[in-house]
């Protein structure tokens, strides 16, 4: 279930998109407006599409995390929910849920990501395995 804070952040994101900001500008704007230290804005990709991720977690191993992501190029209507764990340092296991027409959601993918540091960026990258059989590269990052 999406938290109130996540809903507010998504609204701010969509407002920023309407003003033609780049993905990096959008992520910086998102992070400036986060008043919950557990929510972190990331920019990334799923397959070939740019995506904005809002992840709520404390960054510690053996914790759960929740969030949403969407594709700026597709607008704000379709948001995917993420839920998962950080079972050990440097590993994220996520499930993606897609909204259904009746207001519910369905499990649509399983993701496994590994952390690496690239210059001044924290990068999570790995694979999204969709329930329809497609396998896509997935990554998101932020400045340290």
Tell me the CA distances in angstroms from 96 to 14, 18, 32, 107, 122, one per residue in order: 21, 26, 26, 6, 21
Q: For every one of its 144 residues, what pLDDT tens digit does the chain have, with 9 covering 90 and above?
A: 445 444 444 444 444 444 456 777 766 666 666 666 678 889 999 999 999 999 998 777 788 999 999 998 887 788 999 999 999 999 999 999 999 999 999 999 999 999 999 999 999 999 999 999 999 999 999 888
Q: C-alpha angle with apex 106: 131 to 81, nearest 5 degrees?
A: 100
Residue 72: both structure tokens together: 């700026």
Question: Residue 50: helix, strand or coil by DSSP?
Answer: strand
Whether this model's pTM surpasses 0.85: no
Which candidate, 44, 46, 45, 10, places its Cα nearest to that of 29?
10
Q: How many domains does the chain have?
A: 1
Which residues span the domain enclosing 132?
4-143
Contact between 55 and 39 (Cβ < 8 Å):
yes
d(C-alpha 118, C-alpha 22), whole Å:
21
């Amino acid at each position: 279930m999406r938290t109130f804070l996540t809903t507010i952040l998504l609204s701010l994101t969509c407002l920023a998109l309407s003003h033609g900001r780049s993905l990096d500008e959008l992520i910086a704007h998102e992070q400036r407006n986060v008043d919950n230290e557990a929510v972190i804005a990331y920019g990334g990709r799923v397959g070939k599409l740019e995506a904005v991720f809002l992840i709520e977690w404390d960054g510690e191993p053996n914790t759960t995390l929740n969030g949403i992501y969407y594709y700026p190029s597709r607008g704000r209507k379709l948001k995917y929910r993420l839920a998962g764990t950080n079972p050990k340092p440097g590993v994220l296991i996520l499930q993606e849920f897609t909204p259904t027409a009746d207001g519910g959601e369905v499990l649509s993918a399983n993701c496994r990501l590994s952390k690496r540091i690239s210059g001044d960026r924290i990068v999570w990258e790995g694979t999204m395995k969709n329930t329809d059989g497609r396998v896509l590269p997935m990554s998101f990052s932020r400045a340290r």
